[in-house]
Structure 1
Amino acid sequence: MNIVILDTNCANLLSLKLSIEKLGYQATITTDHDIIKNADKLFIPGVGSASEIIKQLSSSNLIQVIKDSACPTLGICLGMQLFSSCSAESHGIEMLGIVNTPVTLLNSQTLPLPHTGWNQVFFDKSHPLFNNIQSGSWFYFIHSYAFPINKYTIASTDYNVKFSSVIQKNNFFGVQFHPEKSGSVGSTLIFNFLEI
């Protein structure tokens, strides 16, 4: 299987690659268009600001490559937010528009931002991503912006406000948490994605 991690120059690239390799698979970190286009599974990790990742993807001519992806594609954290129509971060920057929903600042009220640490992920329906994972399992988050609940939400998390912690539209999947930092339950989710 040709597993590709898009090189977004973020800090969790190697930890994601290691998590995949611990499951017995090999992954390539790259920005090479041909390798990405021939991927069987594509991971898009992201840490940092929306404006920086859009700037980087634009300079590498990768925006259309991602939008044209036909294989199962998993956006992680900021990588998930890339799928939105726009982000309230960076004064409403335009994103990839795969999901016609804006990403907004978490209205966490008295709770601090960024939302950092372990929180529960809840889902109502069975889904291949959640094989051998119980609703209410704990995953590791670090973010201030998120997708509101929308028609593509398949799991949610509460941080004084309910937000989308997992989405799916066609072959595009997104998780707001970091599975590569979420212990055994995160490894299970990565394995499930690789088996889709």
Structure 2
Amino acid sequence: MWNTVKAKVMGLKILHGFCNYCTQRHASVGVWVNRTPEKHRRCGQVPGKTRLFATRNYLSTEPPWRVLFFGTDDFAVESLKLLSASRDSNDRVVESLEVVILSNDVPVKKFADQSKLPVHIWPLGDLQGRFDVGVVVSFGCLLREGLINQFPCGILNVHPSLLPRWRGPAPVFHTILHGDTITGVSVMQIRPKR
């Protein structure tokens, strides 16, 4: 199948068309790709001199984004505060912000209520087209592939350790219990099966 101008793949804005195989294969590189017919033997397409340019603008709509935040504890509240403040700032990175929680008695719920943010209780239904990006901070549940794929710009996970050390639950407790003198925060993109 052939992609035309402004196709979107893997959260990258594609300025020129390319076949699906080559777009999937080369979009994340972020450079001009000039493929001649002999380079397309795998997909069987003959693009001639079609070019692909991928930029890190994450979605053709560009900011501000519609954000769905997944979180529970006080650590998550700090990230939620920054996202909430961005709605009212001059740069307007966040257009709308909604929150997903596991139960009603968590600090994120309290902050969301104070800030008049819409709150959803886990598990979620279909979100297709409602949000551009997800942010997960201290949520405690694995997100299934079908949910991850509903966010065109992907999902970011804020993790309170320098990965790979103390990956998984309770990284702050492990950092303290093991007497680590250096720690930090890792931000990563969530992908299905990774």
Please give the TM-score of this superposition, normalised by the length of structure 1.
Answer: 0.33
Please give the TM-score of this superposition, normalised by the length of structure 2.
Answer: 0.33
Higher relative contact order (CA 8 A, sep 6+): 1
Larger radius of gyration between Structure 1 and Structure 2:
2
